[in-house]
Structure 1
């Protein structure tokens, strides 16, 4: 069985799961409530697309990290909660292909969720008839939000590792709470460029990152990925 076959199996398992559809249902409410809240809370009543998208991005970034971490944890953690890990390990398949297929599916799912949330946010703005629409503005906004989402996805790889180590997805859910709390504290203290889970927000607001931020974020992502590969390499001994 090659990597393409493994990908096909992983995709089928996820799409047939209720969790896949529930994630999109739940994360539809976030952009809707945030978008409506941003527009209705405008004191001047003259909010335009530029102002709306700026506020929406900041809110969706915080929501996205929760969704991305949950997805990464669930894809790996479900093997333990559904008690299918032993069957998976018994198959004559290289462990590296199992991990790679799961990571690719996680990436695709997270990117799809990002586009989905952005599209809903745009739809809300369109319903309220905001002024200042331009194709350049929307594409530039979409590009920056997509890059920010990818940076957040990189930072959530430790969640996948924790799901394997803890043999479930409850511990990664606890990690999300810790991340949210520490992110707020780090941003307040001015350390946002040096905390992996606030670095994407720095890019979102400034459009660039310094070298130290790139190294910290890349190291976090690599540590999570390499750790996951190593865990599966010795999974039978865990």
Structure 2
């Protein structure tokens, strides 16, 4: 247990001494402000008419009320989270190969499984922090814009859906770590993230999104017009959890048994 704490502490220091936390924080900060701007446009038709094309884009997210705004945040964390969370995973695991520190890391008197788990702990913790930050800032922006339709029931439901979507997106990001380990760098996992994001949109349009793990968080957010928690029943949740477990276990096995040169 002491070795795991030490390994986690080391990974924590490496991660937070890099620019990745700041970069991901700034990127995530844009989401609530963009959503708040759309709500402001919908609340002010005259202003929207002067902007023209922005008005048409804003109409895509519905009306200016809290349910639409919270739904927008949930969709953003479901879709954008695949990129941001995947980027975090790819950096934490791929940097050891890019910086040529993998041999030094594996030579330490610490179990490789423990090293992998420590990396996952740091990645998941930061993804959770980013998710909470986006939600908190989103609520603040919504209050500042004075979005109508506030009620305790709506806010609790919106926060619950957002939390579920964020958790599912984090869980389905574990295979990125495996791809980063196999590809020994950043490019392979970045390509994998783009591929899964594009394929998720295609599969969802085809009507089979509930069977594709990277499309399930988006469906849970209600982006496709489905009930938010309907897709979480039965096979969809099983597929997503199985994908997450495969990503975690595969990464651990790769670091344990693959030849490291």
Q: Normalising by the residue count of structure 1, what TM-score does the alignment of the two structures yield? A: 0.92
- Measure how far apart 1:152 and its partner are: 1.1
Partners in 2 of 1:130 and 1:41 — Cα distance? 10
- Check whether the contact 1:194–1:216 (CA below 8 A) recurs between aligned residues: yes
Which sits farther off after the overlay, 200-209 or 161-170? 200-209
Q: Tell me if 1:161 matches 2:161.
A: no
In structure 2, C-alpha distance between the alignment counterparts of 1:20 and 1:224, rounded to whole Å = 23
Range that drifts further, 189-198 or 37-46: 37-46
The aligned counterpart of 2:236 is 213
- Residue 208 of structure 2 corresponds to 191
Deviation at 1:237, TM superposition (A): 4.1
Q: Please state how far the C-alpha of 1:41 moved relative to its aligned partner.
A: 4.3
Q: State how 1:37-56 maps to structure 2 within 5 Å.
A: 37-41=38-42, 47-56=64-73
Q: Deviations over 1:3-59 (max 9, x none)?
A: 111111111111111111111012212331233124414686972212221233223
Mapped to 1, the partners of 2:124 and 2:73 lie a distance apart of 22
Look up the match of 2:51. Answer: none
Query: Could you say what the CA RMSD is over the residues aligned between the two structures, in angstroms?
Result: 1.9
Aligned residues: 238
**Contact 1:148 1:200 (C-alpha < 8 Å) held by counterparts:** yes
Distance of aligned partners of 1:68 and 1:218 in 2 relative to their CA distance in 1, 3 Å threshold: same
Q: Does 1:222 align with 2:238?
A: no
Structure 1, gaps ≥5 residues long: none
Shift of 1:185: 0.7
Match of 2:115 among 66, 82, 98: 98
In structure 2, C-alpha distance between the alignment counterparts of 1:160 and 1:38, rounded to whole Å: 36
Structure 2 residue matching 1:2: 3-state secondary structure: helix
Farther off after superposition, 124-133 or 154-163: 124-133
Supply the distance in 1 between the matched residues of 2:33 and 2:40 (Cα, whole angstroms): 11
Structure 1 residues 131 and 37, CA gap change in structure 2 (3 angstroms): closer
Contact 1:7 1:101 in 2 (8 A): yes
Give the 5 Å matches for 1:1-238: 2-41=3-42, 47-205=64-222, 206-208=228-230, 209-237=232-260
Extract unaligned runs of 5+ from structure 2: 49-62, 223-227
| Aligned mates of 1:165, 1:139 — CA distance in 2 | 41
- Structure 1 CA distance for aligned equivalents of residues 193 and 143 of structure 2: 32
- Secondary structure at the residue paired with 1:132? coil
